[in-house]
Amino acid sequence: MNITVKVWRQDGPEAEGRMVPYEVEDVSEHMSFLEMLDVLNERLTMRGEEPITFDHDCREGICGSCDLVIDGVPHGPQQTTTCQLHMRSFNDGDTIDVEPFRAGPFPIIKDLMVDRSALDRIIQAGGFISAPTGTAPDAHAAPVAKNDADHAFDAATCIGCGACVAVCPNGSSMLFTSAKVTHLGLLPQGQPERKSRVVNMLNQQDAEGFGGCTNIGDCTAVCPKGIPFETISRLNRDLLGSLARGGD
């Protein structure tokens, strides 16, 4: 395949950015999108040009760092991570726009790389449990209902990529925060901090500048882990419960 990629280039956080077109020839349909960028970067380096900065780590869909907006959609045309997106999703001759995740709380570091540490600070505000130290307890020491275990596991698959934020017109991180609240709130180990967790995480979400949820639903449509929209309802139920009981 021969394609053109128009890539957002920005020298630093305060620099002005612009879309720069690059012709990329002999692209294999089996390459991942990131491998295609690797090839482009090798060619840019050979030509003495500055390679494109983009974030990545596991390249297996589990770390959440490969945050690119491709043709206007976070992670591109498939509901997966950018590292799991393959060039067979595109056609010979295509022109593909590649931009960073855009949201106020995700400042651009360089080119396609943004700072998503605001999500880490939301987790630090409440995404933990208190547990006594010592040897690991037996797996069956604290029974968990199958339904709760399944929903907790589903919520725990959130990889913190931030696609839900990047697609939301409000720049809301509510799907992310609700996944963390739900994951711990459904398990016995998460009960001691349950009431304070939801309030503290939402306060931090506001402090970071994320917008509020107005039930648009784009977040769940681009979430690579399929976190369902109802997860936000679970957070709202926890919040109401916490406020009714006056929090911790």
Cβ-count burial of 118 within 10 angstroms (0-12 exposed, 13-18 middle, 19+ buried)?
A: buried
Question: Could you say whether residue 62 binds ligand FES (CB under 6 A)?
Answer: yes
C-alpha–C-alpha distance, residues 102 and 161, integer Å: 13
Considering the complex, state which of residue 82 and residue 220 has its C-beta at the smaller distance from ligand FES: 82
Stretch that binds ligand SF4, among 29-37, 45-53, 199-207, 222-230 (CB under 6 A): 222-230
Minimal distance, residue 209 CB to ligand FES, in Å:
24
Report residue 31 CA to chain centroid gap. Answer: 22
Question: How many residues lie near ligand FES (CB under 6 A)?
Answer: 13
Say which entry of ligand FES, ligand SF4, none residue 100 contacts (CB below 5 to 8 A, set by partner kind): none
Question: Could you say whether residue 158 binds ligand SF4 (CB under 6 A)?
Answer: yes
Question: Which of 187, 196, 96 shows the shortest CA–CA distance to 150?
Answer: 187
Say which entry of ligand SF4, ligand FES, none residue 9 contacts (CB below 5 to 8 A, set by partner kind): none
DSSP 171-223: -B-HHHHHHHHHHHHTSGGGSTTHHHHHHHHHHHHHHTTPBPP-S--HHHHH-
Question: How many residues lie near ligand SF4 (CB under 6 A)?
Answer: 14
Among 37, 122, 175, 186, binds ligand SF4 (CB under 6 A): 175
User: 113 by DSSP, 3-state: which?
Assistant: strand
Question: Could you say whether residue 176 binds ligand SF4 (CB under 6 A)?
Answer: yes
Kindly calculate the radius of gyration of the chain based on its CA atoms and give it in whole angstroms: 20
The residues that touch ligand SF4, with contacts defined as CB under 6 A, are 158-164, 175-176, 179, 223-225, 227
